[in-house]
Structure formats: structure tokens, C-alpha cells
Amino acid sequence: MSTAPAPAPASSGLQPNICGLLCWVPLGPIPLIASIAFLVVDPYKQNKFIRFHAFQSLFFLGAAIAAYFALVILGTLLVFMGPLALLMIPIWVVVGIGLFGVTVFMCIKAFGNEKFKLPVIGDFAEKQANA
């Protein structure tokens, strides 16, 4: 006599810590798409933890893009000064490693169900998440 397997419990979607992690995971456009989706899709948009990480991730991405453009402008100006343009190589490396490090750190914090506020943008993200 065989027994039928127990029905799977009703799922309400992803856990908040997984959603927070997806907002930060450094794999191409995934954080951008995930952050926007979690701010729009109904079961997730009411969760303040998910909203906080989504907004903070988007603000961090905006700051990273602004830093990128500032470095491009600086590099363009240094090209006209000859060998000073070589200074951009270590600057790019340090900025890139720093951005990646912050992203991995935030992945760990989000996965651990922590609301770690980054300087400056963390306050903006918290205000938006509570609005």
C-alpha cells in the first residue's frame, strides 16, 4: 500500500532575504531588474525590508554610474597632459574593487536579514522604503 506524497505547502514567493540578495548580486543587469521588479510587484512592494534594499541598490547603482562618468571625464582631460593619463589605471582598479567589495558586503548583509545603511544613500533609501 503506497501513500500519496503530502501536498507542497502554499508558497508566498521568495523570502525577503533572498529578494534583498537579488537586489545586490553582482551579475550584470540582475540587480537593476530585480530592484525595479520588487518595487512594482505586489507581494514584495509592501515589505519595507525589500523596499529598503531595492531603493538602496538603485541609489548605489546611480552613484556608481556617476563615478564612472566622472572618471571618464577625468581620464579624457588627463590624456591631453601626456603620461598623466596612466594614473587612471590604478584609480579604475581601486574604484572597481571598491564598488565590487561594497556590493558583496551588501549581499551578505541582505542575505542575513540586516538593514545596513550605506553612508548618505542609506538615509534616502530608508525614507523611500517607509513612504
Report pLDDT digits (tens) over 40-96: 998 899 999 999 999 999 999 999 999 999 999 999 998 888 888 888 999 999 999
Scanning the structure block, which residue is given the C-alpha cell 571625464? 73
pLDDT above 80 for 11: no
Burial of 27 (C-beta count, 10 Å sphere; 0-12/13-18/19+): exposed
Q: Which three cell numbers stand for residue 50?
A: 525589500
The Cβ of residue 116 has, within 10 Å, a number of other Cβ atoms equal to 14
**79 or 4, which is more confident?**
79
- What does the domain layout of the chain look like in residue ranges? 16-130
- pLDDT score for 3: 53
Longest dimension (CA), the chain: 84
- pLDDT score for 12: 61
Q: What is the pTM of this model?
A: 0.85
- What does the chain come to in residues? 131
Scanning the structure block, which residue is given the C-alpha cell 534594499? 53
